Structure 1
């Protein structure tokens, strides 16, 4: 009798897992570089180093814009959807993940989230205002 319940439970779990993975195209998005994002038409994720000196707000649209560098060193202007509020701590973090698509010379990000500091501590490309790496602070 317990074998029947186990089989039903396993089938239900597999159905739920399949639904979760394939019901929304936004659940499984690959990490790519800006060069690859230019080639693709769907939504992708790009891990970026944010150049906060270039951060501006487009007063007409309300969108946050900044220049970012991907993990291969390619730079691109990123425009964050004005309906998405940047995560708390964005102004201080050197690295983020932008989710969106490349369009007309700009990466149009629908969403953005911050990378955990442990992911980039000691990375040679990440320096604070004092010129030290994140791990050296």
Structure 2
């Protein structure tokens, strides 16, 4: 079920609005670098909710989950206290087990941070597991590749 907390779709992108809070910043009002990883996780989770596949449903239905295998972050421009940002997310299924996620943190059309994350699907035993076809097709909603 989608709601305003799960963001919105714009073309092939999922958008999650986010406001920088005091807890996100250092003493100078600049966003602490590690918080961008949390913002990215929120963006990925919100995109799944928007598609109708919250993490809990994926775990309960298929007994699988996504784990981060690799993450690359390019910090371009800092975000500051009380700024409104957008977390822009796309998914690229690479194969039956891996998905690449591209995310940009945007402030008024300017890219502040760019993240490239590789997710791996695993089962309860934490070994690689196949992503169901149904879920792969849904992830393509937010993909530039058909």
Q: What is the TM-score normalised by the length of structure 1?
A: 0.28
Task: Name the structure where strand makes up a greater proportion of residues.
Answer: 2
Larger CA Rg, structure 1 vs 2? 1
Q: Which gives a bigger RCO, structure 1 or 2 (Cα 8 Å, sep 6+)?
A: 2
Q: What is the TM-score normalised by the length of structure 2?
A: 0.27
